[in-house]
Amino acid sequence: MVFFLVASLIDKLIDILEQENEIYTDILNMSKNKTDIIVKGKISELENIVKLEQSYIARIGKLENEREEIVEKIARQLVLDKDDINISGIIKKLDQENAARLKTCRESIMLTLKELKSVNELNSNLTKNSLEYIDFSINLLASIDSTANNYSNSGRVNDPKKRSFLDMKL
C-alpha cells in the first residue's frame, strides 16, 4: 500500500515538473524573442512580453506550491531526513524505474533553466548597453558648446556661455 501511494505521488510530482518545464520552455522562447526586440529597440513589444512572462511566473509559483506539498508527502512516506527532502534525496529511495523517470525530469528542467539563465544574461547585457548608449547620447547633447563660432557684430566673441540643446538633463 505504501509503495502504491508513493508511486502515485511520484506520478503527480513528475506531472508538475513536466508542466513547470513546459512553462520554462515558453519563457525561454520569449526570452530569445526578447533579444531580437531589445536589439531593434521595440519598447512596446518588450512591454507586452514582460507582462506575459509575469503571468507565466505566477503559474510557476502555483505549481511550486503544489510541488512542495507533494515532496513533503513523499518525504513522510519514505521517512527522509530533513537534509534529503529534495529531488536527489527522493531519487535515492525510489525503485529504478521511478528514479529514472524523476531523474530525467530533473535533468530536463535543469537544462532548460541553464539555457534560460544564459539568454537572460545576454538580454540584461544588451539592455545595460542600450541604457549606457542613451545616457552617453544625452550627455553629449547636453554638453555641446556652441560658442566656437559665435561672433558679435563688432567681430568679437560673444559671452562664452555654454548652451545646450536640452534644458535639463534627466
- For the residues 147-167, what does the mean pLDDT come to? 55
Domain presence at residue 45: yes
| Domain count within the chain | 1
CB 166 within 8 A of CB 138: yes
- DSSP per-residue string spanning 8-61: HHHHHHHHHHHHHHHHHHHHHHHHHHHHHHHHHT-HHHHHHHHHHHHHHHHHHH
Here the CATH number for the domain that contains residue 77 is: 1.20.58
Look over the chain and give the mean of its residue pLDDT values, rounded to a whole number.
84
**Which tens digit of pLDDT belongs to each residue from 2-40?**
466 788 999 999 999 999 999 999 999 999 999 999 888
- For the residues 56-85, what does the mean pLDDT come to? 91
From residue 108, give the alpha-carbon distance in Å to each of 21, 66, 130, 133. Answer: 7, 19, 33, 38
Q: What's the pLDDT at 80? A: 85
Domain presence at residue 24: yes
Residue 72 has pLDDT above 50, yes or no: yes
Domain presence at residue 10: yes
Residue 92 sits in which domain range?
A: 2-141
Name the residue type at position 160: P
Structure letter (DSSP) for residue 90? H
Domain presence at residue 153: no
Domain presence at residue 70: yes
**Which tens digit of pLDDT belongs to each residue from 102-123?**
999 999 999 999 999 999 999 9
**137 grid coordinates:** 547620447
Q: How confident is the model at residue 147 (pLDDT cuts 50, 70, 90)?
A: very low
**33 grid coordinates:** 524573442
Domain presence at residue 114: yes
Domain presence at residue 118: yes
Domain presence at residue 170: no
